[in-house]
Amino acid sequence: MFEIIQREFIYIWYYFEVQLRQIIVYWALGMVIGSVISVFGKQKIHSLMDAIQDRHLGVLGIIPASLIGIASPLCMYGTIPIAASFSQKGMRDDYLAAFMMSSVLLNPQLLIYSAALGSFALCVRFISCFLCGIAAGLVVRYCFKDKHFFNFKGFSERASRDTDPNLLIRFLKNLGRNIKATGPWFLIGVLLSALFQRYVPADAFADLFVNNRGFGLLMAATIGVPLYACGGGTIPLLQQWLVSGMSMGSASAFMITGSATKITNLGALKIVLGIRHFALYIAFIMAFALLSGLVVNLVYIV
């Protein structure tokens, strides 16, 4: 019995070590770039949102709002107080919807992580998240134009923790917080990937995601809800799934529903949306993820 356990441990460690070497550079680079943006560029990024409002861009303002959401390095619990401060200054709900939606789905750190999946997957992730932010802004603009979509009562912008007068120390502290927050999930993702390689038969995976593309797409959009805990932690799993035959469309659907329905994001969003709008949010995410997956599969096949 001990020999069997020892042998399995060796196999799992081998897969773990190989996967870790393949992806840790992207994780480390994401940490560094994310901290650089957070410490030195966060205020500039958020001042751009004020500029959008001041320029009266109309519906076109949704486009830069979605891009700014992607560029923002904050998590959802950090984004909501910022959005609340924008709302108090008179920011339109459609701009806020685009900003918050794309911020939920993607940030600079996760964008760098996603490079480990290949250039096409990186482009798919960026474009789908960008368009999802635009779509959310358009829905709020035209379906809720006479009503307030968000309720930011009780929220206020939190004081920044990046206050050390020494810029290097400020950067290192921010980097340390990022590593502490994402490191354990990243390692869990690598471990899950190793377990997948060891114990999930390739034929069974192919039957689920390759031979039944329509069902595989629906399954990927669905499993994104319970499996997604941290963006960095899912990259090793996605990398292995794609190698095993998952379609790029299914991967796209998983990346959208996973990020948008991450349990910490849902907790924050439910507070500012209310029950009815929260239900609409879930329906919107599922519909967009499936549509995105279908389009990506068509493009990728061609």
Q: DSSP letter string over 240-269? A: HHHHTT--HHHHHHHHHHHHHT-HHHHHHH
The pLDDT of residue 18: 81
Cα-atom radius of gyration of the chain, to the nearest Å?
Answer: 20
pTM as predicted: 0.82
- Interatomic CA distance for residues 141 and 91, integer angstroms: 12
Question: Looking at residue 122, what is its pLDDT?
Answer: 92
pLDDT of residue 95: 92
CA triple 223-218-207, angle to 5 deg:
90
What is the predicted pLDDT for the residue at 157? 57
What is the Cα–Cα distance from 202 to 196, expressed in whole angstroms?
A: 10
* Residues in CB range of 94: below 8 A, 6 or more apart: 59, 61, 62, 137, 138, 140, 141
Exposed, middle or buried by CB within 10 Å (0-12, 13-18, 19+), for 238? Answer: buried
Q: What residues have CB less than 8 Å from 262, skipping those under 6 apart?
A: 228, 229, 230
**Which stretches of the chain drop beneath a pLDDT of 70?**
75-78, 154-162, 200-216, 220-221, 223-233, 263-265, 301-302
Distances (CA, A) of 84 to 38, 178, 273, 298: 19, 24, 12, 39
Q: How far apart are CA 37 and CA 117, in angstroms?
A: 23
Q: Check residue 138 and give its pLDDT.
A: 95
Give the pLDDT of residue 226: 53
pLDDT for the residue 34:
77
Residues belonging to the chain: 302
pLDDT given at position 291:
92
